[in-house]
Amino acid sequence: MNIQTIVKITSAVFGLLGAVFLFRIIGTGDEEIKMAASMGDFGAVSPLVSLSIAILMITVVVTLLFSLLNLASSSQKLKKSLLFIGCFAVVLGIAFAASEGVETPLKDGEILSAAGSRWVGTGIRMFYILAILAILSMVVSGAKKILNR
């Protein structure tokens, strides 16, 4: 049995399970699900959520596995990938060092911790740094093309 057959069978099984769980939710109805959820019973929705999490985990594991196997086949690819991961870690470090955390009250009455606030700031700063780097790389690439003509 080859890998394509296994993938097709697995996809069909997951698709069938998803359809069964979906029809179960539709058959239960919105109001009944809301009433059950208000009492802490998520039994109608939980199987579909669990199936989604399982599919996500399988997808992540398979993607990482095949990516690592592909990288291991060539030392040049591995070297390049490690270089880019290192650059990404440097950008993360710069963004984290530039961020500060302050306890922040949220709309629902909860409080965002200082550490959580710092990580949010880190994510925003990383986005800006990476966006600026992407724009600069496009400008430099375009300039090189124009100058080489």
Q: What would the pLDDT profile of 2-22 be if each residue is shown by its tens digit? A: 888 998 999 999 999 999 999
pTM of whole model > 0.75? no
Mean pLDDT of 77-89: 92
User: HEC string of 74-90?
Assistant: CHHHHHHHHHHHHHHHH
| pLDDT band at residue 43 under the 50/70/90 scheme | confident
User: Which candidate, 22, 8, 81, 91, places its Cα nearest to that of 51?
Assistant: 22
pLDDT digits (tens, 9 = 90+) for 105-144: 888 888 989 999 999 999 999 999 999 999 999 999 999 9
**Whether residue 92 has pLDDT greater than 90:** yes
> Average model confidence (pLDDT) for the chain?
91
pLDDT at 41: 80
- Kindly state the tokens that stand for 5: 């057959």
Mean pLDDT of 36-49: 84
User: What Cα–Cα distance (Å) separates residue 140 from each residue in 31, 33, 71, 90, 133?
Assistant: 57, 55, 28, 22, 10
User: HEC string of 89-126?
Assistant: HHHHHHHHHHCCCCCEECCCCCEECHHHHHHHHHHHHH
| pLDDT band at residue 146 under the 50/70/90 scheme | very high
